[in-house]
Amino acid sequence: MSNVTLRLAPATLTRGLSRITSPTGRIPRPCIVSKWLQSRNLTVVAAPIQEAIPLRKHLKDEAKRKRAEAKSNGGTKPHAKDSRLKKWELTVGIEIHAELNTACKLFSSASAEGTDGVANTRVASFDAALPGAQPHFQVATLLPALRAAIALDCKVQGKSGWDRKHYFHWDQPNGYQITQYYEPFAKDGVLRLHASDGVPLADLNGAESIEIGIKQIQMEQDTAKTTHHRPSTYHIDYSRAGHPLIEIITLPHVHSPQTAAAVVRKIQMVLRSVDACVTGMELGGLRADVNVSVRERGTEGTGSSYSGVSGLGQRTEIKNLSSFKAVEDAIVAERGRQIDVLEAGGVIEGETRGWTLGATETTRLRGKEGEVDYRYMPDADLPPLVIGQDLVEHLRSTLPELPSETVERVRNLYGLSLKDAKTVFDLDDGDRLEFMEETIESVQRKLGRTDIDQLEIGKLVSNWIIHELGGLLTTTELNWESMNVTPGELADVLVNLHNKHITARVAKQLLSTLIETPASARSSVEQLIDDGKLRLRPLSEEQYQAFAAQIMDDNPEMVVAVREKGQKGKIMWFVGQMVRRGEEGTVEPEKAREVFDKLLVV
């Protein structure tokens, strides 16, 4: 066997925000696990490290992948339905680990914030498992956990407890993880999903929505961060050890890979909306484990059961999935593997499996652990966690708007379709929705009129932000954070368009100019319009008629196509010709359409 080297990066312990040394005045010695492993020449296989993917790129890549798969499948949807699924039913339960948005760790006052990248600089004595160090529950960590539980419609328990989950690994210096296995602080929640969340119509089965039960939410501490330096050296950073997490455990109510990905996506949205989670899955702040099983249809009365759900097949667990794509693809692969095994007369083993992006099958990591393996027991150093109902009610009454509530409000206020409302909400972590509402308010203020329908303005602004501004960001390869157009500037463009001082073509040109020009070097929108002589100078009725007649004389074959062959769609070709030939700011497409309709449709 090859040797494995473990190195503890230079450690600086902190108690609170001040630096301290160990009780003996010396820097703690390298991890004892390292020496133990070295003495036995043990080899450790680490899970592949996946780089963080920005959310915008992640969504674009996922959409591109699905289009490519649909094309390769002859136009069918991605993950073309396996004909064997008529015989076999998939069941999935999900465990989501989310890092809470707090300033301190779960059981020490060491900072849980900071991105300085210096290893082992945010470590208290308990985090490093120094002799005699005791855990002290930090009450501030409870608040985001409670917000998450309330938002997921869970029942908050007045009294909960702490348990030790024992296992031997270098990323857990105490030799156990403190969690809430037996008495979690929240139980019996529910997550409601609609077709717009990505749930297949087959899963909805004609209903408007489905409900995924949440068995429990428990608080627990994170482990240290392991960095693999090939071929066989691992560095341990205890700055992450003890970070507060919540684990959200769903019931096995999921029956398709797409719905599983939708569950994870929806939970991430909920946690962000109530400021419970630090970052999302695309930046490593949220990870998912999925428990996958298949059973033959019609055998519901047999098999195992879990929390009141019976008739389940033998499950396997796929650990540490770090993207929505990984959740969906890993389940598809494991479902196919289990069906292959069962149809060959084999037996599914309870085990933990891994998944790598781009793979076609899951891989075995180890046998499945259970309660006996982890030796769960109450933590003797921590008293029960008691939560007052008055605190719960206060947080409930002050809870921020939930995603479903925001989407519904946007639809009602601004007349957006469900698709557009969800799109503007989902993009850029809600920043685009905030930009849209500021722009709408600015447009209404600049128009200075009370007879303008808010629905009309809302549709106008949302269309330009989703399609025109979004399209420019794509073509210029800019992300939202680097976009330098302000809500006031976009409002100036749209007010001029609404008042018919400029054409839609000029409005697009102005928006492109604003994006491409640094804010410090560009003029105001009004100045750009005046300097470029872009204000609309509409033709008279007679000028429109003469212009249209000239274009028709130049293109008799197109006239024949419309008049004699009934190809009325070609009328817009004539409109395009008039816009292109006309002097900038003189031709209104709507008016041009009216003129050609009169002259060509006889």
**Each residue's pLDDT tens digit, 143-157:** 999 999 999 999 999
Q: Computed over its alpha carbons, how large is the radius of gyration of the chain?
A: 30
Burial code of 503-513, b = ≥16 C-beta within 10 A, e = fewer? beebbbbbbee
| pLDDT value of position 377 | 94
Query: How many other CB atoms are found less than 10 A from the CB of residue 297?
Result: 11
Burial code of 307-318, b = ≥16 C-beta within 10 A, e = fewer? eeeeebbbbbbb
Q: Does 108 map to a domain?
A: yes
Inter-residue contact 442 to 452 (CB < 8 Å): no
Q: Does 398 map to a domain?
A: no
Judge if 491 and 363 occupy the same domain.
Answer: no
Inter-residue contact 154 to 187 (CB < 8 Å): yes
Q: Which residues pair with 104 in a beta bridge?
A: 111
Backbone angles phi, psi at 363, to 5 degrees: -125, 145
CA–CA separation, 236 and 226 (whole Å): 5
CA–CA separation, 315 and 369 (whole Å): 12
Alpha helices in 73-204 (DSSP H): 142-151, 201-204
Q: Does 84 map to a domain?
A: no
Judge if 349 and 256 occupy the same domain.
Answer: yes
Burial label, 344 (beta-carbon count in 10 A; 0-12, 13-18, 19+) = exposed
- Region of 275 (left: φ > 0; alpha: ψ -120 to 50; beta: rest) is left
In the chain, how many domains are there? 3
Judge if 477 and 572 occupy the same domain.
Answer: no
Cα dihedral sign for 134, 138, 144, 147? positive
Give the three-class secondary structure for 361.
coil
Q: Does 303 map to a domain?
A: yes
CA–CA separation, 588 and 598 (whole Å): 16
Q: Does 396 map to a domain?
A: no
Judge if 545 and 527 occupy the same domain.
Answer: no
- Per the structure block, which two tokens stand in for 566? 């009934």
CA–CA separation, 307 and 408 (whole Å): 33
In 203-360, where do the E strands start and end?
A: 209-221, 225-229, 233-237, 244-250, 286-296, 304-306, 309-312, 316-321, 351-354
Judge if 526 and 546 occupy the same domain.
Answer: no
CA distances for 426 relative to 197, 412, 419, angstroms: 11, 17, 10
Boundary residue ending a domain (390, 425, 447): 390
Backbone angles phi, psi at 213, to 5 degrees: -75, 145
| pLDDT value of position 449 | 65
The three state secondary structure string of 540-554 is CHHHHHHHHHHHHHH
Judge if 476 and 557 occupy the same domain.
Answer: no
The contacts of residue 367 (CB under 8 Å, 6+ apart) are 349, 350, 351, 352
In 410-558, where do the E strands start and end?
A: none
Boundary residue ending a domain (390, 420, 454): 390
Inter-residue contact 174 to 141 (CB < 8 Å): no
Burial code of 449-477, b = ≥16 C-beta within 10 A, e = fewer? eeeeeeeebbbbbbebbbebbbebbeeee
Helix axes 541-554, 571-581, angle to 10 degrees: 110
Give the three-class secondary structure for 348.
coil
| pLDDT value of position 567 | 86
Inter-residue contact 271 to 96 (CB < 8 Å): no
Judge if 35 and 63 occupy the same domain.
Answer: yes
Closest alpha carbon to 397 in 215, 142, 146: 146
Judge if 111 and 40 occupy the same domain.
Answer: yes
Strand 176-179, strand 186-194: pairing: unpaired
Q: Which residues pair with 99 in a beta bridge?
A: 245
Per the structure, the complete domain to which residue 563 belongs is given by: 541-600
| pLDDT value of position 70 | 52
Q: Does 114 map to a domain?
A: yes
CA–CA separation, 493 and 495 (whole Å): 6
Judge if 174 and 300 occupy the same domain.
Answer: yes
Please report which helix (H) or strand (E) contains residue 74, including its range.
none
Boundary residue ending a domain (492, 510, 531): 531
Judge if 382 and 519 occupy the same domain.
Answer: no
Q: Which residues of the chain have pLDDT under 50?
A: 1-6, 9-37, 43-55, 73-77
Q: Does 483 map to a domain?
A: yes
Query: How many other CB atoms are found less than 10 A from the CB of residue 537?
Result: 11
Contacts 24+ apart (CB under 8 A), 458-462: 458/413, 458/414, 458/415, 458/416, 459/414, 459/415, 459/416, 460/494, 460/497, 460/498, 461/414, 461/436, 461/490, 461/494, 462/414, 462/416, 462/420, 462/424, 462/436
Backbone angles phi, psi at 207, to 5 degrees: -85, 160
Judge if 343 and 489 occupy the same domain.
Answer: no
Judge if 423 and 570 occupy the same domain.
Answer: no
Token match 């399609």: residue? 467
Q: Does 79 map to a domain?
A: no
Cα dihedral sign for 257, 261, 264, 267? negative
Closest alpha carbon to 361 in 389, 341, 379: 341
pTM of the model: 0.73
